[in-house]
Structure formats: structure tokens, C-alpha cells
Chains A and B, each alone.
Chain A
Amino acid sequence: MTEEIKADMELDLKGLLCPLPMVRVSQNITKVPVGGIIKAVATDPGSLADIPSWAKSTGNEVLKTEKVEKDLIFYIKRLK
């Protein structure tokens, strides 16, 4: 229904347990330019709360969260 978000980097975080999905996103956020987008695919439901909370507290933005079967897909935009 919405147009596809174009990601600058894709992270496969499937199978990683909390808090590692968040840690990986944090590690990689500086590898995309400001305004760039990371698409992260996780399976741990803890990341549903962790990644948006992390984004909020570090001043970045989660554009969209999708749930496709068991996969949780996050689009995270680097704001600074």
C-alpha cells in the first residue's frame, strides 16, 4: 500500500537474542550517511520495544515496523 522504502544497508539479525539486535543496529548506524536508512530484519520480539526505544533515546527515527510471518522488519533512519 505504501511505496517501498529504499534502504542504504540491510542487516540480517534473525536468530539474535536481545539485546544483540539493538546493539548491531547501534554499531552500524554510523556506517550509513546522515539521512540514510538501515533495514533490519530480526526475529526476537524484544527488538519490537528495544529498537524504537533505542532510536528515540539516541535521536534517530524508526520509519516503519513490519511483521512478516516470524520476521520483524525495521526501517531506521539516521538523523545525526
Chain B
Amino acid sequence: MLDIEKKELMIQTLKNKVNKQLLYYLDVCARCAICRDACHQYKVTRDPKYIPAYRAELIRRLYKKYFSVLGKLFPKIYEAKDIDDEFLLSELYQVTYACTGCRRCMYYCPFSIDTLHILSVAKAILLSAGMENQILRELSDAAIMKGENIELFKDIFVTMLKESEPEIREKIKDKNAQIPIDKKNADVLYVALSGMHSILPAAIIFDKAKINWTLSMFEAANYGYFLGDSQKAKTIADRIVSEAKRLNVKEVIITECGHAYRVMNFFYEAWTGQKPPFKVSALIDSISRYIKDGLIEVNKNPSSEIVTYHDPCQVGRNGGFFEEPRYVINAITDNFRELTPNRTKSWCCGGGGGLVAIPEMDEFRIKTGEIKANQIKETEARIIISPCENCRLQLDSLNEKYGMDIKVKSMMEFVAENLKV
């Protein structure tokens, strides 16, 4: 049993999270469960608790108990539950941290119920009960610690960047090419992920396009967002915002990382009440602009391999970039073949929502990635491009487990490989 004080805190948390959208969603759902087959996790596991409507129902049961007249009088009608109901909380934990946040259910719902929005409330409640996911919490804390202790890694980080510069110079035949860091008044601050795989290809593209850029010392990924802790998420995002302000850049380009772009472009405003004081772009959009504007040129048809594209949910359905990536791929190859379905109806790869970072989810995410794996196999493609790190890590796992014999690439990698120099 949880103590009284904690219970009060949880109820208060639910109360604080009530807004228009949440009320619409909690009040209108008819439990028709049309959403069931929209969710890859239900479709593969056939476990009712993964039906989006059921996940939302768990929060509705708490809401009815504390905030609805009839729910207080006749809790049985709604199966309303106490907020410290252990079975409910354990199910809530499972289905909330399992959700990849792809919002495919929202697309198919006749009322357009945003299950992810409801589960963000679930995460807040779990946090207030101290029941949040431990790995995501450690990742968030480490990211905050990193922001406060740049001296821990800065020197060695700069050394590694310098060591990579010859590779860029070789590639684009420009002996002045470099990976600038801490450069004041640059036009662009590029926020990568912490591996070189997200820095090097982008550096090649920026340097070739003669962009006045500088590299951020922080990674775009925000585990505070996956954890569902808006305070931590804000602190993590603030590392980048203050860096951009300090360097006085005009534009911040977020690397190919689905949630990171949304965090900067949407959620930062929700957490702080204000938009970041600079333009926020997604790298995929910038690359397509550079090609359109002739800043970079690409080689056409470098090979006859079939290329396919996976729409990351946070980039496509939830981020709005459908045509930009296709423009870039079509600029490079005539052998582009779509997955079916795609764009706004795209299936989640199964790795979103931070799942790839949670070891206990490994088996589940690979199992529920079956739909994506089959979709990819159907295209007979040898290269799959996806501008999201979560998706790529998942696609790599699927490639191995389902024997897809495919190369998983980021768009920057694909473009850098096929850059005309």
C-alpha cells in the first residue's frame, strides 16, 4: 500500500494535468476499440491491454473516481478505481512505457483520440508515485549532469572531432573543412547525437554546402521526454537553448532524430510557455533545401539497389515531413520503392518512445516489429533509409532477427556517400 501523502500527490498530479484536450478524450471515447488493429503492439501480441482504448481506459478509471459526479457515486458503472490500486498501476506502467508514441491509433480513431496525450498524464502519475522507468530516469539524470559538467568531456570530445577532420577534407577535397565547435555568431547550430555517425556525414554536407555552422556539445536526444518528466525534459532542452543563445546563432538544426525535433519545435513551448528564440529546423528538411537550392549536388543512380524509406512517426505523421525525404531519395536513385502503407498511415517500427534504450523491452520490441519487417521484405529493397535514430536502431535489430539482408542508413549518410565533389 502506498501512504496517504503519496496518494494525495498522485491525485493532485492528475488534477494538474487536466486540460481541454484530455477532457475531450476521456469523455468521448466509446470503447469501440476500432483502434485495436491500428496498434502494432496489439496486432502482434493480441493482448487486450495493448489496445489503445484500454490504455486510455486506465486513466479514465482514475479520472471517473475523483473528478466525475456519477463516477464518485457509482464507481462500478465505469469500473472506476482508486489511484493506488496496485493492479491498475502495474498495468498502467506496462502499457505506458511500452507505447512508442506513434499515434497511429489517433489517425484511425473516429474521435481522433490522442492516446499518447493521455499516456503523458499516466507518466506524470507514475512519476509522482516514484514508479517511473529506471533506465529512462538514469539517462535523463546523466544528460542533466552532462550539461552541468561540460569540463568532464569537452577536451577529449574536441580531440575526437579534430581526429575526424582529415576524413572530411579527403571526402570533399577541401583542406579547410572542419567541425567547428563553440563558434560565436555562426548561422547554424547543429545538434547531433553523441556518436560520430551523426556528426561526420552532416559535417560533410554542411562543409560542402559552405554553411557557416557550429556543432553543439550536447546530443539532441531527450530522455526526459520519454520518461515523461517535463521538468527534466525542459532542463535537458535548455542546455541546447542556452548554447544557441550564447553563440548567437540564427537557426538550430536538429539531427535525424524523431522526437528531438518535436521537443524543440513543439514541446519546449508547452513546458516553458515560450518558443525558442531561433528558427528550429530538421536536418532532413535542410538537406532537401540544400539540394533544391543547388548548395550541394548528388550523384544520380550510384547503384541499381532498390531503396526504400521508413517514415518515422515523429518525423512524418507527427512532424510533417513526408515529401522532403522522398525528394532527396529521388534525387539520388530511380530505384525508390515505397513501403505499403506509408506517410501518415505508416506503421511504427516498434522502437520508438525510447524503447530501444530499455533492455527489458528488447524482446517485446523485436517481436512487435514483425509488421515493419514484413513490410520491408515485401519491397525487396537492399537499402532502407530512415531519418530517426530510434527507428534505425530498431531496424538494425529487425534486420538481424528477421534476416532482412538490408542496409539501414540515415539520410545524411546516404547523401554524404553520394555527394558530387
Contact = CB atoms under 8 A, between A and B. Distances in A.
The SS class assigned to the A binding surface is helix
B226 to A, nearest CB: 11
B152 interface: yes
A58 B358 CA distance: 17
B110 to A, nearest CB: 38
Interface stretch (B29-37, B141-149, B300-308, B327-335): B141-149
A65 to B, nearest CB: 8
The SS class assigned to the B binding surface is helix
A17 B142 contact: no
Interface stretch (B50-58, B122-130, B189-197, B266-274): B189-197
B153 interface: yes
B193 A50 contact: no
A15 to B, nearest CB: 11
A27 B359 contact: yes
Contact of B194 (A26, A50, A56, A57): A50
Interface in B2-34: none
Interface in A2-22: 17-20, 22
Interface string A50-62: 1011101110000
B141 A58 contact: yes
Given A18-B194, A44-B195, A49 B138 contact: no
A57 B236 CA distance: 14
Given A50-B146, A53-B146, A22 B139 contact: yes
Contact of A56 (B149, B219, B393): B149
A56 B139 CA distance: 12
A57 B138 contact: yes
B135 A26 contact: yes
B223 interface: yes
A44 to B, nearest CB: 5
B73 interface: no
A48 B156 contact: yes
A23 interface: yes
B160 interface: yes
Contact of A52 (B139, B153, B193): B153
B157 A45 contact: yes
A18 B219 contact: yes
B415 interface: no
Nearest to B217: A49
B172 interface: no
A33 interface: no
Contacts of B153: 48-49, 52-53
B105 interface: no
B109 interface: no
B296 interface: no
Interface of A: 17-20, 22-24, 26-27, 44-50, 52-54, 56-58, 65, 67
Given A22-B139, A50-B142, 11 more contacts: A18-B194, A19-B221, A19-B223, A20-B393, A23-B357, A26-B135, A26-B138, A46-B219, A57-B142, A57-B144, A67-B156
